[in-house]
Amino acid sequence: MRGPHNIWRLIRTGATLERTGAMGVVLDAFEAPRALRLLAHGLGKPFMWLGYRGDPSMPPATRALTALGPAYIKFGQVLSTRPDVVGGDLAQQLRVLQDKLPPFSRDEARAEIQRELGLSVEELFSEFSEPIAAASIAQVHRARLADTGQDVAVKVLRPGIERAFRRDIDAFYFAARIVELFAPGARRLRPMDVITHFDGVVRGELDLRLESSAASEFAANTGDDEGFRLPPILWNLSARRVMTLGWADGVSLGDNDAIDAAGIDRAELAERVLQLFLKHALRDGFFHADMHQGNLKVAANGDIIAYDFGIMGHIDEYTRRVYAEILFGFIQRDYKRVAEVHFEAGYVPADRDVDEFARALRAVGEPIFGMDASHISMGRLLSYLFEVTERFGMETRTELILLQRTMVVVEGVARSLNPHMNIWEVAKPVVGDYIKQSIGPRAMLSDLVKTARVMGRFGPRLPGLVESALIAQTHEGTQRPKRSPAPVIAAGLLGLALGAAAAVAAMLLLG
């Protein structure tokens, strides 16, 4: 992390926000107190001349973020899905960050394709359009295959994007270190771990071979999901900086007028978006982690079409069960159980009072139930949650960062379709089904099957391990007091017993 460079980068960030007029817009959107406004403007105005000018034709916030670079644009994309947090006007301004950024030239894209695939655009495609969508990392062209006539979408990384992202991430690391040094109270949020996690996500997004692989796995998991489909990947026309996939016709999930004109029920569509995300996260542990409106379309038959698989989330089975129990506890308004799950998972230090934590969770959850979602201020709710977690010493869980962020984005997308949707009522059937399947007798049998598989691999080695332990005990007997081999023998017998029990359970489960 280069200190002087990053100090300069952060100064220019504040200066750019001030110069473009975005500072006031952002402070207004978050209802910043007067003291913070005075401090922000006081620090920004003296350096305003150092800020990037940006595109004057854009609204202030988008003008500032596009001038600052791709990592800032990513942040703006998340905010664009939360009109309840930043206000409808700012959310609408930021919507252009999803797929309407200034493109690079078609000639540059053609050169990138030839370098990556080894053939010219003319040899590969009979038609190759101007850019039809441009985002922070890549842009998309519509094309037609020369050999089959199939319509496809060709995604090409922006030239030099790797270096631009490296510069931004470097500055974020520096800012996180400053926070840890000068704001000890924020260390529980583990800012360095958060940036490290974000860095890893971005690195994966900058290799389109990984995105192609993720899309293939996602398609295999979701093939039977009704009302949801993905465009197929063309592996022979994909590489590190180029990705080709089948063309998908549809209207953007952010175009409510077009959705209404197509006769599609937006309330049902909002519920389906949220429930599909929960199914993918809980059932598969592998989910689309960038589900903003720019990456979702609605087909003429009402199917949701997802694309842009650069950011995918993965959570292990244990974490899924914890997350589901927490969600289900909130849905059932069983705050004591929600508190207990936090303690059992180690999310809250064991020396804290579980009953007090449960009461704090009740104060967060109760306002949600029986209230129109449009009357809930998510900004105030998140602010209070932050106060609760700080009071009880919860640390940031890096394995849940992407899941939590995506939940925020998906909720924002769903509410843009139906502002009156209650997320808890919509989530209840999906989470309930998962609870029944993953926490109960069938889940125990499934766990035993996995145990049987492990014991099947290591079972033949147990006699040898026991014999080696006995020999070691014998050799050590002349050097120090002799220890009983009983614990070792017991461990071996216990392992054999568990293997036998697991094998029987597996046979019962499998028929």
pTM of the model: 0.71
Question: Measured between alpha carbons, how far is 496 from 406 in angstroms, rounded to an integer?
Answer: 43
Of 284 and 473, the one with more pLDDT? 284
What tokens appear for 411 in the block? 């909720």
How many CB atoms are closer than 10 A to CB 231?
A: 18
Mean pLDDT for all residues in the chain: 79
Question: Measured between alpha carbons, how far is 194 from 180 in angstroms, rounded to an integer?
Answer: 12
Question: Measured between alpha carbons, how far is 73 from 158 in angstroms, rounded to an integer?
Answer: 14
Alpha-carbon 477 to chain mean position? 56
pLDDT in tens, 250-272: 999 989 999 999 999 999 999 99
Q: What percent of the chain has pLDDT over 90?
A: 28
Are 448 and 500 contacting, i.e. CB atoms less than 8 angstroms apart?
Answer: no
How many CB atoms are closer than 10 A to CB 146?
A: 15
Most confident segment among 7-16, 289-298, 361-370: 289-298
Q: Is pLDDT at 289 greater than 80 in this prediction?
A: yes
pLDDT in tens, 432-472: 888 877 766 666 666 666 666 666 666 677 677 667 777 77
Q: What percent of the chain has pLDDT over 70?
A: 73
290 assigned to active site: yes
Q: Which residues pair with 306 in a beta bridge?
A: 296
State the pLDDT at residue 3.
61
Of the residues 99, 168, 170, 290, only one is catalytic, namely 290
| Sequence ranges of the domains in the chain | 3-97, 162-203, 249-439, 441-510
Question: Measured between alpha carbons, how far is 339 from 125 in angstroms, rounded to an integer?
Answer: 58
| Nearest by Cα to 192 from 172, 162, 207, 215 | 172
Q: CA–CA distance from 82 to each of 89, 94, 225, 234, 367 (Å)?
A: 11, 10, 27, 34, 19
Question: Measured between alpha carbons, how far is 189 from 393 in angstroms, rounded to an integer?
Answer: 10
How many CB atoms are closer than 10 A to CB 309?
A: 26
Measured in degrees and rounded to the nearest 5, phi and psi for residue 288 equal -70, 120
State the pLDDT at residue 318.
85
3-state DSSP call for residue 307?
A: coil
**Which amino acid makes up residue 349?**
P
Q: Is pLDDT at 226 greater than 60 in this prediction?
A: yes
Q: Is pLDDT at 510 greater than 50 in this prediction?
A: no
Q: Which residues pair with 296 in a beta bridge?
A: 306
- Strand 312-314 to strand 151-157: parallel, antiparallel, or no bridges (unpaired)? unpaired
3-state DSSP call for residue 257?
A: helix
Query: Quick one: which H or E segment has residue 134?
Result: strand 125-134
Most confident segment among 360-374, 406-420, 478-492: 406-420
Calculate mean pLDDT across residues 68-78. Answer: 76
Question: Measured between alpha carbons, how far is 305 from 298 in angstroms, rounded to an integer?
Answer: 6
Of 472 and 161, the one with more pLDDT? 161
Alpha-carbon 448 to chain mean position? 31
Question: Measured between alpha carbons, how far is 369 from 362 in angstroms, rounded to an integer?
Answer: 11
Q: Which residues pair with 449 in a beta bridge?
A: none
